[in-house]
Amino acid sequence: MKINNDPIKWERADEDYVISCYRELHQIPETGLFLPQTKAYIVKKLQEMGLTPVHYEGHSSVSAKICGRDESRVILLRADMDGLEMAEETGLPYASANGNMHSCGHDAHMAMLLGAARILMRYRQRMKGCVRLLFQAGEEEPGGAVLLLGQGILEGPVEAVFGQHAGNLAGLPKGNIGVKSGPVMAAKDSFSITIHGKGCHGAMPEQGIDPVVTAAQIILALQTLISRERRGTEPAVLTVGSVHGGTADNIISDSVVMRGALRTTDSKFRAYMEERIVTICTKTAEAMRAGCDIHYSRGYPVLENDPACTAFFREQAQRFWGKEQVSELGSAILASDDMACYLEQCPGVYWFYQTIEPESPYGNHHPGFVTDETLLMKGAAFLAHLSMEWFLKKEDGNCLQK
């Protein structure tokens, strides 16, 4: 089988292989940086192809390299490996039963990358470069990308990094892919705020300093950062998702602890918001006679696609899928992904692959999330096509490492 006169072909056995990988990986979801079953599965599959897996200290990520006629050039294809801590409710015959679930498509990502590797191994003598396959642990948090960058994953140097996200993140027609240049996904920062008041009897509030009322004032003030200090066209959201304080209805407590998150798609606005969050919290607490401790933690950066690489990608995607199946994304979405860490240091492209119906109530991170496995072979073949074409079309050195 081939798509739109693409020179890369696959057989029914390839499709069966990808679906088998998907189902087997779906049954063994693990969370975080240490994924022993998942890693063992990936290592076995790579070794069966004749590849040499590379292991990393401190996490379960695995990489391998497929080299063609020119070993001096390298691109990287990345798939994340980890699942989520939730009980599956799909009713599938291959559903997980260990209390975790692949409800964000990472099982599909791994299966497609394994399928692409299988194809590239057959075509490697026609490939004018090397493809580094990366199976990355810990995307959902705490973030495996930063660890891998410190361990030299982009050494080579890597010319470009490519990755995809399956599911329903962009609401595209089923079977379509979506891409855009520039910001694609948001940066995510977290903050913890502890309000220090003075406890007293609820009947005599004048004898204390109420941290609950102070916390309420801070929460309301923080929301004005989005409604009054953000450009209307700038996607951003600030959420205070956890508030804890007090022990009884007639006692003013000593303290309140709040936790929240900020998602932004512009690096300058992100820095501005961090400063303003600290200012609003400290000054509001001061006005209420309370104390305030703030811990602000920067998470994944804004995920930005390189313009030149995106132009190349769009051309190849339209050639492979057909123009009607390649959607141009509008604004960035406010979900986050540590693929952004690679794209901060190396040009590349991250795209969305719509593998469920857009109107499905069971989207990513839902216990009823189900990927249409019949779409995975095309996603795998496209990864192989993109890799082959990169080395043919980019001999001019365009899009090289920043």
Binding residues for Mn(2+): 104, 106, 140, 165, 365
Nearest CA-CA partner of 297 in 143, 104, 184, 136: 143
323: Cα within 13 Å, side-chain hemisphere: 0
Tokens linked to 373: 């496995």
Tokens linked to 45: 């599959």
Measured CA to CA, the distance from residue 25 to residue 102 in angstroms comes to 9
SS3 of the chain: the string is CCCCCCCCCCCHHHHHHHHHHHHHHHCCCCCCCCCHHHHHHHHHHHHHCCCCCEECCCCCCEEEEEECCCCCCEEEEEEECCCECCCCCCCCCCCCCCCCECCCCHHHHHHHHHHHHHHHHHHHHHCCCEEEEEEECCCCCCCHHHHHHHCCCCCCCEEEEEEEEEECCCCCCCCCEEECCEEEECEEEEEEEEEECECEECCCHHHCECHHHHHHHHHHHHHHHHHHCCCCCCCEEEEEEEEEECCCCCEECCEEEEEEEEEECCHHHHHHHHHHHHHHHHHHHHHCCCEEEEEEEECCCCEEECHHHHHHHHHHHHHHHCHHHEEECCCCECCCCCHHHHHHHCCEEEEEEECCCCCCCCCCCCCCCCCCHHHHHHHHHHHHHHHHHHHHHCCCCCCCCC
Binding residues, as ranges, are 104, 106, 140, 165, 365
